[in-house]
Structure 1
């Protein structure tokens, strides 16, 4: 676990709630299960709480933890932490990805609203001109606004669903593409279901919320990026690998599209990447997910799962082996 995040994930009030439910050694934070102190602790451990930076839980760890029955992951995806040995042992696994989805959806909503006003580009032109009169001001204003702006959401993931909730009371025309969703469920989520290609053709703003899986990597390739209308904005708060990097760079360098990118491929971009300098690209350093005081929301979610576990109730955010074929 990342030691820097520990006091934010589990501030005193959260640790106090945990201590009321289970015996916990808050001073023991493990970055290597092979350490003698970790091995001694594993021998009597019933429950593991993991997070970003946790070492993988493999067969050797499980052999050292004969009493272990559940793993609660105080972060998003369990990929890279939970190995096949965990599933074969039949352990309960839960991820706090739902809690982490909230700030990502909020960030994305803010990006959509600002993109609809073309705020990112106009800020660049306004500051570079030092406030001088804009000869294209009236023409630019004709293209601004969020009333019935067409927003395409790719992926009814945890983030995608939360974003759809946030969009519902606003005046957007919302489209959704997800191979696991039917038309009636999309309607219930407040969106019109479209194929991916049709969504790209139809949207003024496209936002990515698909998992990083072998079948989704590079899903927005050169052909699909070309389907997006001129002047549209592409938002990526998911994973950079979902977009073909060279094709995206070419589209953005041409000025045909704009982008809000919290994630890139690679991450960070090389120092000589033109995306750092383009006025139609708004880059942020992977900040959409839980940071600062948002991390305690994840700690609260862990405590709620512990309460269910202790009370003999089903976990609310359980992850199964089969889930990993379609979720992050």
Structure 2
């Protein structure tokens, strides 16, 4: 970009400190607030969990590649300046998100939130809880996160059904298409949603979807909040017919007085699926890989737009 070196813009000092100094790379720090420190960048990394409209700061700035720190990129196409290439952070968050999905699944099945509440009052509260073992689990969405969840579910002796946008087969057998959704929902005691947010998936988990789930079933949402209809979810869980474990909500953050917080059988975590100690070193490796590819004149990985 500057004729002598690759110009790379990072959002904070922590990422900068993790980079290796190189005569071939000029590193700058900018979090997309205030004026840009240069008129162009070969590679720019926005802040983690920033709103897509923050990319409007790139108007008038020449950028070769925008490397996101998130997997999802809903809303980015609407604000990404013309000519920019956008890559997501595939392979950075899948493991951590899968860990959390399994954690909230097990917590919901085995009654751990109730045990935590009982501990404050010294109540013993013993009793039998539903297992994860032998449960029929439907994965709605079979991208990187769905596959990572499947890999962790199988050792728990669950029966996993995979569902993607289209039907196909792989070495493990059938992957159902989403057109089979309402045939499969009544057959599964746990439904895990990992689809990306798009016009096709917005409101996918609606009243009809939830009504098709069997009594006592558990919905796990680690996708995006607007994939689910909050009012429909509130009705089904408030009645006690369904349970839910949610890492994402709509709206988000969920207001402190929202009734979903106090529904028995609903476990909420604050959109922290990827927020573990595994994220930073994996993000550093991805940025370094992109830099190496660009220096070699090769195409970047994980490109989803542009």
Give 1:113 shift. 2.9
Whether the 8 Å contact between 2:46 and 2:69 is mirrored in structure 1 is yes
**Which of 213, 228, 231 in structure 1 is aligned with 2:198?**
213
Q: Distance in 1 between matches of 2:174 and 2:23?
A: 41
The residue aligned with 2:65 is 70
Whether the 8 Å contact between 1:121 and 1:279 is mirrored in structure 2 is no
Q: Is residue 286 from structure 1 mapped to residue 278 from structure 2 by the alignment?
A: no
Q: TM-score, normalised by structure 2?
A: 0.82
Aligned to 2:67, what secondary structure does the other structure show?
strand
Aligned to 1:97, what secondary structure does the other structure show?
coil
Question: Would the alpha carbon gap of residues 243 and 92 (structure 1) be closer, same or farther in structure 2, given more than 3 Å must change?
Answer: closer
Aligned to 2:91, what secondary structure does the other structure show?
helix
The residue aligned with 2:93 is 100
The residue aligned with 1:193 is 176
**Which of 214, 218, 221 in structure 2 is aligned with 1:233?**
218
The residue aligned with 1:325 is none
Q: Distance in 1 between matches of 2:24 and 2:69?
A: 16
Give 1:46 shift. 2.6
Whether the 8 Å contact between 1:233 and 1:258 is mirrored in structure 2 is yes
The residue aligned with 1:326 is none
Poorly superposed stretches of 4+, deviation over 6 Å: none
Give 1:6 shift. 2.8
Aligned to 1:308, what secondary structure does the other structure show?
helix
Q: Distance in 2 between matches of 1:132 and 1:70?
A: 56
**Which of 41, 44, 62 in structure 2 is aligned with 1:48?**
44
Question: Would the alpha carbon gap of residues 291 and 21 (structure 1) be closer, same or farther in structure 2, given more than 3 Å must change?
Answer: farther
**Offset from partner CA, 1:174-231 (integer Å, 9 cap, x none):** 012222341x13x54x765362112321111111101111121111111210111111
Whether the 8 Å contact between 1:176 and 1:199 is mirrored in structure 2 is no
Give 1:119 shift. 3.2
The residue aligned with 1:6 is 12
Q: Distance in 2 between matches of 1:129 and 1:56?
A: 49
Matches within 5 A, 1:269-308: 269-291=254-276, 294-308=279-293
Whether the 8 Å contact between 1:116 and 1:149 is mirrored in structure 2 is no
Q: Is residue 131 from structure 1 mapped to residue 137 from structure 2 by the alignment?
A: no
The residue aligned with 1:15 is 19
Considering fraction of residues, name the structure with more helix. 1
Q: Distance in 1 between matches of 2:175 and 2:72?
A: 28
Q: TM-score, normalised by structure 1?
A: 0.77
Give 1:312 shift. 2.8
Bigger relative contact order (CA 8 A; separation at least 6): 1
Question: Would the alpha carbon gap of residues 11 and 170 (structure 1) be closer, same or farther in structure 2, given more than 3 Å must change?
Answer: farther
The residue aligned with 2:143 is 157
**Offset from partner CA, 1:273-319 (integer Å, 9 cap, x none):** 22222231111111112345633321221111211221233323122
Q: How many residues are aligned here?
A: 292
Give 1:122 shift. 5.3
Give 1:253 shift. 0.8
The residue aligned with 1:112 is 105
Question: Would the alpha carbon gap of residues 235 and 7 (structure 1) be closer, same or farther in structure 2, given more than 3 Å must change?
Answer: farther
The residue aligned with 1:29 is 30
Whether the 8 Å contact between 1:75 and 1:100 is mirrored in structure 2 is yes
**Offset from partner CA, 1:7-44 (integer Å, 9 cap, x none):** 55x263x312xx33742334x314247x2x53xx124x
Question: Would the alpha carbon gap of residues 80 and 174 (structure 1) be closer, same or farther in structure 2, given more than 3 Å must change?
Answer: same
For structure 1, list consecutive stretches of 5 or more residues without a partner in the other structure: 322-328
Q: Distance in 2 between matches of 1:303 and 1:181?
A: 36
Q: Distance in 2 between matches of 1:224 and 1:283?
A: 20
Whether the 8 Å contact between 2:33 and 2:57 is mirrored in structure 1 is no
